[in-house]
Amino acid sequence: MTAWARLPSRYRDMTANRLFARSIVLPAGTALIGVALWSIVCSLRLFSGAALPSPIEVLAGFREETSSGRLVADLSASLYRVGIGVVLGSLTAVPLGLWLGRHSGARAALMPGVNFFRGLSPLAWIPFAILWFGIGDAPVVFLIFMPTFFTLTLATAAAVANIPTIYFRVAADYGIGSLSLLRLVTLPAALPQLITALRLTAGVAWMVVVAAEMVSGRDGLGFAVWDARNGQRADLLVGNMIVIGLIGVLLDRLLQYLTRLRSVRWSYER
């Protein structure tokens, strides 16, 4: 029986109400206050309508983009590129990080280079991405892959290197082989840090895709922002910015659910 099940029903109800208030009511209330302040600023005409559209104008622009189908198409394109870039980066970075974490000599030789490339802004690769891959999905995926790969490689190597040596000694005493050691010891001990790194990386990837699509894309939310700016449609510009921010929050919330895995939850509850 879990600790939650052992609580009296009234305490469970109180806890559930508090969680609901923190996760739903407080963020929604804050958003409403922000919209109210936004409306007040627009009503005072501190800025021209072209510089700061009102919430009603942004809502009208949002409906226009939704009814035309462009918003869905741009959102799908951006999510596709982020998904491909993050998946490719993760599939290559995590195995390399696991290996580096267990070999101190390899870490000493390769980690300076990993840190060097991790410190480079992904946007600095834009000229090469266009020269190598042209215009379209490929250069944007490449620009997302770069920060994902080097950030996750560093995070995975650090997580594995920080695992107490006693864990591996006990596993060796029990005759646990390499694959079982990876499954039973290394991954469970490193997963909490990996999930945190993945949440940060996904946030960076979402910012990169918007910037990359402004330069080398033909569609996507970043291209929509740039197109609205060129067309002097501030309502569409703000509407796309709101969608970008909301998707970023949603992606982080989805990845946050990974912390509820049984093999991971122990680290967050200590």
Q: What is the pLDDT of residues 46-91, one digit of tens each?
A: 666 567 788 888 888 889 888 888 889 999 999 999 999 999 999 9
- What's this model's pTM, rounded to 2 decimal places? 0.79
> In whole angstroms, what is the distance from residue 52 CA to residue 74 CA?
23
Q: Are residues 30 and 114 in the same domain?
A: no
Quick one: average pLDDT of 164-186? 77
Question: What DSSP string runs through 220-235?
Answer: SHHHHHHHHHHTT-HH
Q: Are residues 118 and 19 in the same domain?
A: no
- Which is more confident, 125 or 181? 125
Beta carbons of 238 and 58 less than 8 angstroms apart: yes
Q: Are residues 74 and 199 in the same domain?
A: yes
Q: Are residues 36 and 104 in the same domain?
A: no
> In whole angstroms, what is the distance from residue 168 CA to residue 42 CA?
62
Residue matched to tokens 């741009």: 74
What CATH number has the domain bearing residue 223?
1.10.3720.10
Token pair, residue 266, equals 């122990």
Integer CA distances (angstroms), 137 to 30, 140, 180, in order: 36, 5, 38
Token pair, residue 98, equals 């696991």
Beta carbons of 147 and 204 less than 8 angstroms apart: yes
Q: Residues 6 or more apart from 206 whose CB is under 8 A from it?
A: 82, 244, 247, 248, 251
Q: Are residues 30 and 104 in the same domain?
A: no
- Per-residue model confidence as pLDDT tens digits over 1-15: 455 455 555 545 555
Q: Are residues 89 and 189 in the same domain?
A: yes
> In whole angstroms, what is the distance from residue 38 CA to residue 251 CA?
26
State how many domains the chain has. 2
Q: In terms of residue numbers, what domain contains 29?
A: 3-11+15-43
